[in-house]
Amino acid sequence: MWKKITGWFVIAVVIIVAGGLAYLYLRKPAAAPPSSVKVETTPARLARGKYIFEDLSDCAGCHSMRDFSRFGAPVIGGGMGIGFIFPAELGLPGTVVAPNITPDLETGIGAWSDGEKIRAIREGISRDGHGLFPMMPYRFYRNMSDEDVYAVVAYMNALAPAKNPLPRTSINFPVFLFVKGVPQPVIGPVAPPDRGNRWKYGEYLTTIGGCADCHTPLKSGRPAENMRFGGGREFHLPSGVVVSANISSDAKTGIGTWTEQHFLDKFYQYIEYAEKGSPKVGPEGLTLMPWLGLSQLPPEDLGAIFTFLKSQPAVFNPVETHPGQPKAATTLRTGRGTS
């Protein structure tokens, strides 16, 4: 009798597991139809879109070909928006590809509607309805205001079409099953941030800039929320290992003792590199921090980011950003907003 009961129990477990897997395989990500909006291109939108795409949110950092032998890995000529295959050294669960997002009709997104582009940016749904791997930070971009996402689309529409065929992202089992649960529709309009409220504006810029994404360590593959902004996330690249810095308000291991001017100077020392070209670096100077783009932010934006970061909980977490490497020599280059 016990053998019969055990047999039925095993069968029931198998059916439940099989049913669960079938559900995960067959379910589609939560998605709303793309809007029918047609983004009007204006000089103001192009300028704002360029600022977000190249500097603040660093879309170019993933979707472009870059020279990683130079400080800040600047985009190579003709490489803007043409896509990038992430190296295996990053330890991602499969082959992750930032696709060609130029207006090329065959290998880019030239055939996409503006509504489909907006949905991909803020909701993580591709044109064919599949969920995007959340290395694309749509979890943060969902907070991007309607006007800002229109500006980004206007700028993307103005990029030079580039023919660059790339493979599709291919995520390993079982991770790809769970990726489907990440996208969520944006309900209703998203208002612009209140620039008059420095803290709220800093929160907005920090969010769509994805600062927490890189500056929060992972635990079991997920951000450790109690370590938010505490740094320590490791990035393994073909040329070496770099670890994100602690940018929490901790006085000993973060930016707790920094003044706003110190914070501004830290970014503006790289203005010359951004404008005239950055030097060659070895593993000791390797960085994924988009210093070149962020050096272009105006003082009011960097100041708002600083205000928000300083208000966040202190996280004690000593970080060695280039483990095993000598400290890179840095010459402070001050620029606008630093006097």
| Domain residue ranges in the chain | 43-179, 198-310
Strand partners, 70: 280
Stretch (H or E) spanning 97: strand 97-98
Mean pLDDT calculated for residue range 24-49: 90
DSSP string computed for 218-252: EETTEE-GGGTT----EEEETTEEEE----SS-TT
Of 330 and 213, more confident: 213
Task: Could you list the beta-strand ranges (E) of the chain.
Answer: 84-85, 94-95, 97-98, 170-171, 218-219, 222-223, 234-237, 240-243
What integer pLDDT is reported at residue 128 of this predicted model? 96
Tokens representing 199 are 């803290």
What integer pLDDT is reported at residue 328 of this predicted model? 62
Per-residue pLDDT of 325-336, as tens digits, reads 887 654 444 443
What integer pLDDT is reported at residue 11 of this predicted model? 53
Strand partners, 97: 85
Chain centroid to Cα 27, Å, comes to: 26
Tokens representing 137 are 């930070």
152 φ/ψ angles, rounded to the nearest 5 degrees? -65, -45
Per-residue pLDDT of 168-185, as tens digits, reads 999 999 999 999 999 999
Per-residue pLDDT of 94-104, as tens digits, reads 999 999 999 99
One-letter amino acid identity for 277?
Answer: G
H-helix segments, 183-326:
198-208, 211-214, 260-268, 271-276, 291-294, 299-310
CATH number of 198-310: 1.10.760
| Cis ω before 323 (30° cut-off from 0) | no
- Report d(CA 270, CA 268) in Å as an integer: 5
Among the ranges given (2-16, 61-75, 114-128, 249-263), the one the predictor scored with the smallest mean pLDDT: 2-16
Question: Longest Cα pair distance anywhere in the chain, in angstroms?
Answer: 86
70 φ/ψ angles, rounded to the nearest 5 degrees? -110, 155
Mean pLDDT calculated for residue range 84-108: 97
